[in-house]
């Protein structure tokens, strides 16, 4: 692994709350008592939140359930099924707990007014969840080798190649390729967003392996620690730069 690895990286977090005073309280408590969190945006409505989440692609979302008149948290979650983030629900109404658990499998649930200790507990649980995810993996069907276990820490990048996706691994300083019919967009949902970034229509890259980023006109080129290269498209450049900068800041 290159020197960019940082086990104490902050959780990229978005706050969604329609009441100004509740938003101010939550933000203040997080900034004062939860140094593991980096707040990268906030929204007060379903429409605003939908745009924000697709733009920032956070790891964790504090999500108020009732957001009149534009809908509820469950409406927002239907609109963001293509994203992968953890949810901590915040609500003044305990009656929503069962529905929230059944529909969203949240990482936490806070009933207003909640204490600092309650907040610390759910943030600590989120940290543990993200750490477990970072060291996890998934099972993929290789077109030649059958069912294989892929560990996140071994992935250099993923590359779409026609109907197939190549998962390029670095294991014991040797490069291996796995080819699967799983779509790149589908594969993206399996990967921890704090570690991986879509840099191109055809590429997802593991940011811990990035050594250097080179601008080539409006496009870009990522130089990985083992000497391989991955492209950055014009369309993905801004998103990549934002996400990689946040990754480096930790």
**Domains in the chain and their CATH numbers?**
11-134 (3.40.50.2300), 137-249 (2.40.50.1020)
Q: Is 38 helix (H, G, I), strand (E, B) or coil?
A: strand
**Structure confidence at residue 2 (pLDDT):** 34
Beta carbons within 8 Å of 84's beta carbon, 6+ residues apart: 188, 189, 191, 193
Output the pLDDT for position 214.
94
Task: Give the per-residue pLDDT at 53.
Answer: 94
Angle of helix 20-33 relative to helix 116-134, nearest 10 degrees, comes to: 70
pLDDT at 243: 87
**Residue 47: what pLDDT?**
94
Q: 13 Cβ partners below 8 Å, 6+ apart? A: 30, 37, 38, 39, 40, 58, 59, 60, 61, 62
Q: What is the predicted pLDDT for the residue at 8?
A: 58
pLDDT digit string (tens) for the chain, length 250 residues? 333 334 457 899 999 999 999 999 999 999 999 999 999 999 999 999 999 999 888 999 999 988 878 788 999 999 998 888 999 999 887 777 777 777 778 899 899 999 999 999 999 999 988 887 777 888 888 878 888 989 999 999 999 988 899 999 999 889 999 999 889 998 998 898 889 999 999 999 999 999 999 998 889 999 999 999 999 999 999 989 988 988 887 6
């Amino acid at each position: 692994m290159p020197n960019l690895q940082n086990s104490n990286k902050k959780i990229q977090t978005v706050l969604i709350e329609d009441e100004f005073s509740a938003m101010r309280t939550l933000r203040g408590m997080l900034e004062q008592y939860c140094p593991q969190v980096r707040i990268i945006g906030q929204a007060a409505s379903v429409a605003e939140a939908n745009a924000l989440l697709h733009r920032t692609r956070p790891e964790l979302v504090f999500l108020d359930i009732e957001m009149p008149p534009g809908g509820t948290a469950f409406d927002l979650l239907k609109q963001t099924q293509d994203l992968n983030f953890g949810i901590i629900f915040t609500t003044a109404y305990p009656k929503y707990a069962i529905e929230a658990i059944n529909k969203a499998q949240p990482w936490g649930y806070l009933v207003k007014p909640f204490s600092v200790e309650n907040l610390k507990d759910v943030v600590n649980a989120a940290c543990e969840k993200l750490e477990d995810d970072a060291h996890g993996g998934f099972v993929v069907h290789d077109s030649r080798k059958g069912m294989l276990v892929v560990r996140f820490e071994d992935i250099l990048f993923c590359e779409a190649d026609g109907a197939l996706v190549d998962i390029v691994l670095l294991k014991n300083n040797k490069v291996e390729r796995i080819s699967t019919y799983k779509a790149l967009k589908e594969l993206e949902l399996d990967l921890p967003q704090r570690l991986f970034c879509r840099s191109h229509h055809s590429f997802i890259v593991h940011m811990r392996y990035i050594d250097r980023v080179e601008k080539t006109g409006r496009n870009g080129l990522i130089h990985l620690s083992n000497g391989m290269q991955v492209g950055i498209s014009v369309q993905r450049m801004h998103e990549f730069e934002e996400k990689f900068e946040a990754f480096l800041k930790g």
